[in-house]
Amino acid sequence: MTDESQLLSGRVAVVTGSSSGIGQAIALALARNGADVIVHGRTESAHLKETKNRLESLGGQATSMPADLADEKSLPSLVEASWNWQNRVDIWINNAGADVLTGEMARRDFTEKFDLVWKVDVRATLVLSRLIGARMRTLEIPTSGACSILNMGWDQAWQGMEGDSGEMFATTKGAIMSMTKSLAQTLAPQVRVNCLAPGWIKTKWGESASSEWDLRANSESLMNRWGTPQDIANAATFLSSDRAVFISGQILPVNGGFRNRN
C-alpha cells in the first residue's frame, strides 16, 4: 500500500471494462488508495480474474461481475449486483468501451462498428449512470458530493478528426461529454459527475500503431509522448476522491496538452 492508502478508505468502487488497459490501471489505483473494488468485463475471462487477484493482493476486498453492456437487459442487473455486494457504491467509473479497432470487429463495416460503440459506450454509460446515481442519492454521506460518477470522453471530440474513426468517436464520445454535464445537474449536490477526455493513450491499439500514427501521437502532445493508462488512473483517482469534492460537471483532458496545428 502507498502513503495515499487512506484517500479512498471505506469507499466501494465499480470500474467497468477493467480486465485490462485503462480500466485495470484505474481499478488498481483505487485499490491502492484504500477502496474496495468491483471489476467488470464482458465475460468472466482470465484477464478479469487476474485483475481481481491483483486487487486482493493489495489488501482490500474485490470481486468481479461480468456483463455484456451491449445487452440493455444486463444493465439493471449489473447495478443491482454491484450495490448488493456491500449495500452501497460510492464511486462508479464508466470506462468500458467497445473495441472496434482491433480483432475481428476491425474488419466489420462502419455501421456495424458504430452501432456497437453506441450501445456500449453511450447507451450503457447513460443508463448505468442514471440507475446508480438514483441509488447513490439515498446514501447517508458526510459531505455533499462524496459520491462520484466518472465517464470517458475523448479530447479530440471538440475539434473532430478526419476518417471513419474520427467521425465515430467524435459522435459517441461527444455525446458522453454532453450527457455528463446534464447528469451532473440532475444528481447534484449528492453526486458529482465528471468526465475524463483522454488523448493518445498507449493501449492495445497504440501498441501496434503504425509509425505514422506514432509520430502523430507524439507530435500532438505538448509532452511529446503517448499517454499511459496510469496517467488516466491518476486523474480518475483524484476526481473520485474528496480532494475533488467541489468539482462536478467538468470535462478534464488528459493528453499532455494538445498541440493544435490548425
pLDDT tens-place values along the chain, 262 residues long: 444 568 999 999 999 999 999 999 999 999 999 999 999 999 999 999 999 999 999 999 999 999 999 999 999 999 999 999 999 999 999 999 998 878 887 889 999 999 999 999 999 999 999 999 999 999 987 677 889 999 999 999 988 889 999 899 999 999 999 999 999 999 999 999 999 999 989 887 677 778 887 888 888 899 999 899 999 999 999 999 999 999 999 999 999 999 876 5
Determine the pLDDT at residue 41. Answer: 97
Determine the pLDDT at residue 1. Answer: 40
As its CATH architecture, domain 12-254 has: 3-Layer(aba) Sandwich (3.40)
Determine the pLDDT at residue 35. Answer: 97
Cα 159 to the center of its chain, rounded Å: 21
Helix axes 46-57, 21-32, angle to 10 degrees: 20
Q: In the 8-state DSSP scheme, what is residue 122?
A: I
Adjacency order of strands within the sheet including 36-39: 62-64, 36-39, 12-15, 91-94, 147-152, 191-198, 251-254
Determine the pLDDT at residue 106. Answer: 84
Whether the CB-CB separation of 223 and 256 falls below 8 Å is answered with: yes
Q: Using CA atoms, how far apart are residues 253 and 131, in angstroms rounded to an integer? A: 26
Determine the pLDDT at residue 2. Answer: 44
Q: Using CA atoms, how far apart are residues 61 and 46, in angstroms rounded to an integer? A: 19
Whether a cis peptide bond, with omega within 30° of 0, leads into 76 is no
Q: Using CA atoms, how far apart are residues 160 and 141, in angstroms rounded to an integer? A: 40
Q: What is the pTM of this model?
A: 0.93
Taking phi over 0 as left and psi of -120 to 50 as alpha, with beta for the rest, 256 belongs to left
